[in-house]
Structure 1
Amino acid sequence: MITSGDIQGHWHRAWLKSPSFNDCETNVHWMQCGSLYADIRIPPNRPDVRGASALADLPDAALMALLRAEGFAGVVALRDDVCTWHREINWHGRPEAEDSGLLELNGSDQMMETGVYGDYAELWNRRADHPASAMHLMAGSAHAFIVSIGQRFVFGVGQPDAENSRNTIAALEAGQRTWALQEQLRHVFAFGRWDGACGLAELCTNPLLEGQPVLSCTGDGALIWHAVDFLGQSREVPLTQPAQVRIDAA
């Protein structure tokens, strides 16, 4: 039987297979600490954003390509060998179906996931499992999750009650840039590394932020989100009111 201890750590997906789709190129990082998790999925062949100073500078086709990314975070629940990822925040808004998978360990650092409500299989490899920490915070009215394993982290910001993005994407396909699109792209999911007190993004739903600090820790231990909106305007948002903290250290 799969236990909470079995799924802790930084997992990188090797591949996904389904009857109609095989994927070994999307860069997927899932980090788990205690019951909290964060997951980011960045597809290959992203648009060239060189020369752009803001997402608003990009053509609609480039924005459509960026919206192929995914990010979600929240808490997991285990029942026997089935894991359910409750998406407290989801970059694409409220999910249309429950996210549950049947897990099977292959040794200590490899795991197979097969869909409970979908016909798919995913192979995961564990990169590290300590030291680990996780936080659920507030970023103004939005929620933020940070899960760190070793020097790496996955960070996500979003609204728990955000509408599903299908209408936003349909509007963009019709050439309409809605306020909902700007709101979605204002929030971010990022995978990165800690460089001292600075969290540098290596992969991000906003590629203009890659190589840039998305998080920093002040001298008194407070965390700051370096937010950048659709128009390229930046501001520093304190991450406050911790709702949950899970820390495993070794």
Structure 2
Amino acid sequence: MSNIKVLLAEDEASLGMIVKESLESRNFTVFHAENGEEALKMYEEEKPDILVLDVMMPKKDGFTVAKEVRLENKKIPIIFLTAKSQISDVLEGFNNGGNDYLKKPFSMEELIVRIKALLNRIELKSNTEHIKIGKYTFNVTKQILSFNDDDQQLTHREAQLLFYLFEKKNQILDRTFILNKLWGNDDFFNARSMDVFISKLRKKLKKDENVQIINVRGFGYKLLC
């Protein structure tokens, strides 16, 4: 995956340099900011494809940066880097617009897998660009879920997850498969992350009572429509 522009915000200079050089050795273009204000400035100037944000940074923390970016861009993938591991911190990250969450210390291979997973755009034939899900219309390319004249902009991760649920509609979408496909692995924190995204999709689909995402305990999820 070449020519991908990554904005890396990490105030620990040595770690930032290691991550930057590692990504650049794999043909990513990396812009490194050492605080939140610098990250926002670089975001505006460089128009990156993905943000990798340390949570604890001077001037503005990673959650604040993500929240401000989300005011104008709902689609760009955001990965948080943090030494924190409490579930409340993980959930706060997703509530502030994050798509993924990587605990320190982490391996470069794991970071790269997660970056690629988030940037793995859904490949569809033109005749499946618009999908009917009950009374909803799902524009996969634009990541918009519509009900009558009400349009909801989905994040990239929400759109990916909904598409895979639709592909398996009325069947079980295997939990391990989708965790590995979209999150890179099926560990506990990623599983909790997926549960959060399933809850978000349920809320966005609640206007049609015939559309449901049910939990098939021990196996995965099923989209009924």
State the TM-score, normalized to the length of structure 2: 0.23
Looking at secondary structure, tell me which structure has more strand per residue: 1
Question: Highest relative contact order (Cα 8 Å, sep 6+), 1 or 2?
Answer: 1
Looking at secondary structure, tell me which structure has more helix per residue: 2
